[in-house]
Structure 1
């Protein structure tokens, strides 16, 4: 078990396992499946990356959805799962209200929140709302798989780095290089919004957004706005 997992045991609750570990076969990896996971995230690259981690490193069978509503439909049709991972910022979540509603609808299902930029205070709020864990998207493959296994075993997981932050958001090295306005513009790029849409959302002139996009491309060493968004998503930025 990693040091991060060992440190996280300060929030272990000793919950009983809320899912059955299957023994079916996953043709993608040619090894027995050890767990069934439902992952919901509106960023395709993030979904694919986390799914790959869980499939190759964790021998998991992953069912993926692109928003909260699709996740609930998949849960109804294909559940229960050993664990359901919900992106904090995806469409339909409405912050933690989506989690609260999901827990109420499926009280015997284990849920955890996944996030790249949510304030760390959300981790504690998520636990109080019924989640059994909080996973930053910046976690490495092995740490992520270990954390998922930890939760499926019936424990609660929150990274030590989140607990040590005192509830304040810990900026990644990627975010530290950007101004607050640049992060807002980059968030719009990651959502696929046009300069005009971002300008309207931030109450700025479109020409100002163009300047910010140019600066972002230079800082991120990106050839264009699309590549800037891909670089940001790979870094766990939402």
Structure 2
């Protein structure tokens, strides 16, 4: 059974989003919260398979709130449904590796379609956000990663430690660390989460 967390500070919007989720997944188990701290706590406690959330909620700035959600449940798709369509916010959402974005002006059928798509492993981006994503990707040539670096990033994205990756690839942990550090540098990051997020945003794997 799918566990879904809906986070929005307006009860009517939570009810509407819950209805869209139930249309897409009739037997979904739905939890509702109204601010970011409650969303973080619920995400940690329930390990949801889908999060549908607003950006403008009490407890954190929009980007910080969603970024922390992503860090708490890295494997869970996050669909943002919000009234904000500012370019800076949309670009930050891309960097946070959200699974989809739907304006609150979207009708129920669009939100339901977005839910189905992200649950199937896809990414739901409206035209404006898709244009921004293309602009970011084309602004500079993508970094070059070796086949080994890509392979290690795949393992990192799966949540494996350097020791686990070393056993899987029959290499030493020190060698894995060197390749990972080189990949991080090529991507302009200094940690695992940001490296995986940037690689996915650039379509490197």
Normalising by the smaller structure, the TM-score range is 0.5 to 0.7
Query: When you count helix as a share of all residues, which structure comes out higher?
Result: 2
- Name the count of aligned residue pairs: 133
The answer to whether the Cα contact below 8 Å between 1:88 and 1:95 also exists between their aligned partners in 2 is yes
The answer to whether the Cα contact below 8 Å between 1:42 and 1:90 also exists between their aligned partners in 2 is yes
TM-score by length of 2: 0.57
Match of 1:156 among 118, 123, 134: 123
- Deviation by residue 1:163-206 (Cα, 9 ceiling, x = unmatched): 4589xxxxxxxxxxxxxxxxxxxxxxxxxxxxxxxxxxxxxxxx
Taking the aligned partners of 1:117 and 1:100, their CA distance within structure 2 comes to 16
Taking the aligned partners of 1:155 and 1:120, their CA distance within structure 2 comes to 22
**Residue pairs, 1:1-238, within 5 angstroms:** 22=1, 35-56=2-23, 58-59=25-26, 60-79=28-47, 81-163=48-130
Taking the aligned partners of 1:77 and 1:130, their CA distance within structure 2 comes to 22
Secondary structure of residue in 1 paired with 2:81? strand
Computed over aligned residues only, the root mean square deviation of the Cα atoms, in angstroms, reads 2.4
TM-score by length of 1: 0.50
Residues 139, 129 of structure 1: alpha-carbon distance in 2 compared, 3 angstrom cutoff: same
The answer to whether the Cα contact below 8 Å between 2:23 and 2:112 also exists between their aligned partners in 1 is no
The answer to whether the Cα contact below 8 Å between 1:113 and 1:133 also exists between their aligned partners in 2 is yes
Structure with greater contact order relative to length (CA < 8 Å, sep ≥ 6): 1
The answer to whether the Cα contact below 8 Å between 1:68 and 1:90 also exists between their aligned partners in 2 is yes
Q: Which runs of 5+ in 1 are unaligned?
A: 1-21, 23-34, 167-238
Offset, 1:39: 0.7
